Amino acid sequence: MARTASFRDLIAWQKAMSLVEQCYALAGAFPKSEEFVLSAQLRRAAVSIPSNIAEGQRLSHRAFRSYLRIALASEAELQTHLELAARLRFAGPEILTATMKQCEEVARIMRGLLESIPKRSGSRKGIRPADGTEW
């Protein structure tokens, strides 16, 4: 796995942040009656993805793998919310399809990142904490 000084350097985190922005824009177009229901759930699931990537990146390999699994679960939850929004016709099919594709891309990148992290515990060679020091 390549040396990473900050979670901000991870493509998975960068793409997940773009996905959050897209989800906020999408949820803003939902009916007012959904402001505290599906809109809130969609936003929460979207925010959970880059948050878990960021939180886990600073920890051990084992913990990072666990946080990535949580982020993948949030991505699946987000896809469920998007599917529900599509079925309820809360947004146009084009924007929902594009957002779903973004979700799938983020999930694919996270799975690749997960596979690149050594499964054994021990040192974090190749990964550095955000302050640039060695582990």
Q: What local confidence, expressed as pLDDT, does residue 120 receive?
A: 72
What is this structure's pTM?
0.84
pLDDT tens, per residue, the chain with 135 residues = 445 679 999 999 999 999 999 999 999 999 999 988 999 999 999 999 999 999 999 999 999 999 999 999 999 999 999 999 999 999 999 999 999 999 999 999 999 999 999 887 554 444 544 544 433
39, burial (CB in 10 Å: exposed 0-12, middle 13-18, buried 19+): buried
Q: What local confidence, expressed as pLDDT, does residue 125 receive?
A: 45
Q: What local confidence, expressed as pLDDT, does residue 27 receive?
A: 95
Q: What local confidence, expressed as pLDDT, does residue 35 receive?
A: 87
Q: What local confidence, expressed as pLDDT, does residue 121 receive?
A: 56
In the 3-class helix/strand/coil scheme, how is 28-90 assigned residue by residue? HCCCHHHCCCHHHHHHHHHHHHHHHHHHHHCCCHHHHHHHHHHHHHHHHHHHHHHHHHHHCCC
92 phi, psi to nearest 5 deg? -70, 150
CB atoms within 10 A of CB 55: 15
Q: Which CATH topology does 8-116 take?
A: de novo design (two linked rop proteins) (1.20.1440)
